[in-house]
A and B are shown apart, each in its own frame.
Chain A
Amino acid sequence: MAKILMYGNAAIGEAAIRAGCQCYFGYPITPQNELTEYMATNLSRRKGCSFVQAESEVSAINMVYGASLAGVRAMTSSSSPGISLKQEGISYLAACELPAVIVNISRGGPGLGSISAAQSDYFQSTRGGGHGDYRTIVLAPSSVQELADLTHRAFDLADKYRIPVIILGDGMLGQMMEPVEFKYDAPSELPVRSDALRGAKGRPSRIVKTFTSKPTDLEELNWSLFRRYRLIEKEETTYEIYMVEDAELVVVAFGVAARIAKGAIRNARANGLKVGMFRPITLWPFPYEKVSELTQMTKHFLVFEMNMGQMIEDVKLAVEGKREISFYGRPGGVIPTPSEILRVITRLYYQKGLKIEK
């Protein structure tokens, strides 16, 4: 299929429809409204599909829970304050082992914050977010093409592991226009999970629940969740590496920050600085092993985030003190420029006395 020019938010919608998403439930919030509107235009009247503008994010995520019970592919989207409200529902989805796709086109916080792009929801996304001991898969795209690709992957992963999957984008990605190619056509028949709750016809009645009066039952549920999480860590961790082979300094960044960093790294290379980049694509599971491997090749890490230092905790866990780690963050929805990052890289490079290419 040819490439078409599309906004990030619309590309998610189109990719979701092509992934066989049958139900979309949302509540307006900037900067993701174009996605809700895309689904209203393109999904709501499709055969067998349903779109509801819910009365709140709390309701929207619980509608997703209901649709997921019925065995169909369902999604919701929001931005940071709305994702806070969805956490109760995400915890229930995780507990009941129900697949769902949740898109967070995040903005600055805390509080109502601002509508401009930020990466301050890293902790919220990767540490469970709601109550209880659970994880969600978190995918962090850095281009419109990747938004589309990862949306498709999100539905597949959700079904494969029966787990809620979060796509963590941001206002910049959602609002920008880029060429995108859709690699899949919409399925002719919408997929239905075999374990769907659709009435006890020809089989005994079934219960989906987590509440139990036996602590040992709950313990077993948590064990089984974590056995699956270990498997996901083993099978599904993905990342991008860029010019790390000979790098003295590796910049670690995700999402749009990685994109900004890449521009800076190209210029740093032109100036003879041996800089590379590591970009986790799955924020959970975080690619600890690969980062750990990099400690053998590189001398210094620079973690760059559009927050005050959240992913850096995972980098530290991976590096285990074997290398020094510096941090540069811009919180509050201010989008840094590649030349700003180039300045940070250059200063750090000389401060640490790293080798210059002759």
Chain B
Amino acid sequence: MKKVYRRPKSLKRAAFHYCPGCGHSIVHRLLTEVFDEMNIQDKVIGIPPPGCSVFAYHYLDVDMAESAHGRGAAVATGLKRAYPDALVFTYQGDGDLAAIGTAETIHAANRGECITSIFINNAVYGMTGGQMAPTTLSNMKTTTTPYGRDTRLEGYPVRMSEMVALVKGAAYIERTAVNSPANIKRTKKAIRKAFQTQIDDLGYSMVEILSPCPTNWKMSPLESWQWVENEMTKEFPLGLIKDTTRTKDITGKRDAD
């Protein structure tokens, strides 16, 4: 019998605390598959944030260190500068990376720090109970935009990937989603490419992942997958945003598709 599914070596034997249908669980799985396939488990150091994924270190079987809210890119910078042989990644929510941590993110990217940011965009602050995030869609209801996000009062959804892509030190930026098997596959490819960019010492890499939060969106997991497809991708179009790496992906094609 052919084994088609097994637990990645880099994924600990622990039950996820994430809500059913949460995108974090899928991304964790993808990350650990990439670690295994690239054989980098013993080189990787992860910086998880305050946010729903604060306990990511209970699941990812690699060295990990907590960062203060939003400071992941600065912590990763210090680590990588002190020990350039490490493969350092931050794992950050949209509140973490695109609100409180905007400065750290932009400047780490601008310096071309050879680190990787896994950026989970779920359009809300998950851990603190579903408040507005910088990425909350226009008119979207959250606990702090109970009448819907009014862009005249609350500003517009922030397209962080496009912003970061403007700085020269950013080498590879792609936006993906985990709301369908095809998108999940693309996300994995993008994560792999981001780590390859770091291994090749080419600069800053980021994968923005549109990720369902059924709990705070008050939807079923299925509805949340559809909502990513029908609503989120309008504001946050999927695809490659920037690639200056000139590297080929594993299939030999230029760029991740």
A contacts, CB < 8 Å to B: 22-23, 25, 50, 52, 54-56, 58-60, 62-72, 74, 88-89, 92, 96, 196-202, 205-211
Check A67–B71 contact: CB distance below 8 A: no
Q: How far is the CB of B231 from chain A (nearest CB, A)?
A: 32
Q: Which of A58, A65, A92 contacts B78 (CB 8 A)?
A: A65
Q: A205-B63, A208-B64 are in contact. Are A55 and B76 (CB under 8 A)?
A: no
Contact of A70 among B43, B64, B86, B111 (CB under 8 A): B86
Interface pair A55/B103, CB less than 8 Å apart = yes
On chain B, the residues within 8 Å of A60 by CB distance are 74
B47 CB to nearest chain A CB (Å): 8
Q: Which residues of B contact A68 (CB under 8 A)?
A: 78
A residues in contact with B103, CB < 8 Å: 55-56, 58-59
B104 A59 Cβ-Cβ under 8 A: yes
Q: Is B92 an interface residue (CB 8 A)?
A: no
Give bound CA distance, A202 to B50, whole Å. 29
A56, A58, A88, A210: residue with the most chain B Cβ atoms closer than 10 Å: A58
- Nearest-neighbor residue (CB-CB) of B58 within chain A: A207
In the complex formed, the residue of A with least CB distance to B100 is A58
Q: How far is the CB of B253 from chain A (nearest CB, A)?
A: 30
Q: Please state if A89 and B68 are interface contacts (CB–CB under 8 Å).
A: yes
Name the one of A63, A205, A211 contacting B50, with C-beta atoms under 8 angstroms: A211
User: How many angstroms from the CA of A22 to the CA of B84 in the assembled complex?
Assistant: 13
Contact: A62 with B42, CB < 8 Å? no
Q: B61, A66: Cβ atoms under 8 Å?
A: no
**Known contacts A63-B77, A66-B78, A67-B81, A199 near B43 by CB under 8 Å:** yes
Q: Is B184 an interface residue (CB 8 A)?
A: no
B81 touches A62 (CB 8 A): no
Task: Report whether over half of chain B's contact residues are helix, strand or loop; otherwise say mixed.
Answer: mixed
Q: What 17 additional pairs, Cβ within 8 angstroms, besides A70-B78, A74-B82?
A: A23-B81, A23-B82, A59-B77, A59-B104, A62-B68, A62-B75, A66-B76, A66-B77, A66-B82, A70-B83, A72-B83, A88-B68, A199-B42, A199-B62, A199-B85, A199-B87, A200-B41
Tell me which residues across on chain A come within 8 A of B111, comparing CB atoms: 52
- From B67, B75, B104, contact of A55 by CB (8 A): B104
B65→A198 contact, CB < 8 A: no
Q: Give, as a whole number of angstroms, the nearest-CB distance from B105 to chain A.
A: 10
B75 A63 Cβ-Cβ under 8 A: yes
- A-chain residues with CB within 8 Å of residue B26 when the two chains form the complex: none
- Choice from B64, B65, B78 contacting A63 with Cβ under 8 Å: B78
Q: Which residue of the partner chain A has the closest CB to B62?
A: A205
Minimum Cβ distance to chain B for residue A212 (Å): 10
Residue among B42, B63, B76 with the highest chain A CB neighbour number at 10 A: B63
Q: B63–A66 contact, CB under 8 A?
A: no
Contacting pair B79 A197 (CB below 8 A): yes
**Given A201-B42, A211-B50: A96 in contact with B65 (beta carbons within 8 A):** yes
Q: Are A66 and B74 in contact (CB under 8 A)?
A: yes
A46 to chain B, nearest CB (A): 13
Classify chain B: how many residues form its interface, as a range.
35 or more
Taken together as a complex, chains A and B put the C-alpha atoms of A206 and B104 apart, in Å, by 25
B45 within 8 A of A: yes
Q: Known contacts A59-B104, A198-B45, A200-B61: does B77 contact A52 (CB below 8 Å)? A: yes
* 20 A-B pairs in the complex with CB atoms less than 8 angstroms apart: A52-B81, A52-B111, A55-B106, A59-B103, A62-B71, A66-B47, A66-B78, A69-B65, A69-B78, A70-B82, A71-B83, A88-B68, A198-B83, A199-B85, A200-B41, A200-B63, A205-B61, A207-B63, A209-B64, A210-B66
Cβ–Cβ < 8 Å partners of B86 in chain A: 70, 198-199
CB of A86 to closest CB in B, whole Å: 11
Q: Do A92 and B68 have beta carbons less than 8 Å apart?
A: yes
For residue B44, CB closer than 8 A to chain A, the reply is: yes
In whole angstroms, how far apart are the Cα atoms of A88 and B61 in the complex?
Answer: 28
Most chain A CB within a 10 A radius of its CB, from B65, B71, B85, B111:
B65
Q: Which residue of B lies closest to A61 (CB)?
A: B74
Contact B63 A64 (CB under 8 A): no
Q: In the complex, what residues of B have CB within 8 A of residue A211's CB?
A: 50, 54, 66
Residue B80 interfacial (CB < 8 Å): yes
CB of B107 within 8 A of CB of A66, answer: no
List, in ascending order, chain B residues with CB within 8 A of A201's CB.
42-43
7 residue pairs, one from A and one from B, having the closest CB atoms: A66-B78, A63-B78, A62-B74, A70-B82, A67-B82, A66-B79, A50-B81
Q: Is B57's CB within 8 Å of the partner chain A? A: yes
Q: Are A58 and B79 in contact (CB under 8 A)?
A: no
Residues 28-71 of chain B, each 1 if its beta carbon lies under 8 Å from chain A, else 0:
00000000000001111101001000100100111111111001
Docked-complex contact B85 and A198, CB < 8 angstroms: yes
Whole-angstrom distance between the alpha carbons of A60 and B80 in the complex? 14
Query: In the bound complex, do residue B62 and residue A200 qualify as a contact, i.e. CB atoms below 8 Å apart?
Result: yes
Q: Bound complex: CA of A163 vs CA of B150, how far in Å?
A: 47
Whole-angstrom CA separation of A71 from B79 in the bound complex: 9
Q: Which residue of A lies closest to B110 (CB)?
A: A55
- Complex CA gap A206/B63 in Å reads 5
Q: Chain A: which residue is nearest B88 at the CB level? A: A66
Q: For residue B42, which residue of chain A has the nearest CB?
A: A201
Give the Cβ gap from A189 to chain B, nearest Cβ, in Å.
15
Nearest CB in chain A to that of B66: its residue = A209
Known A198-B63, A207-B64: A66·B75 in contact at CB below 8 Å: yes
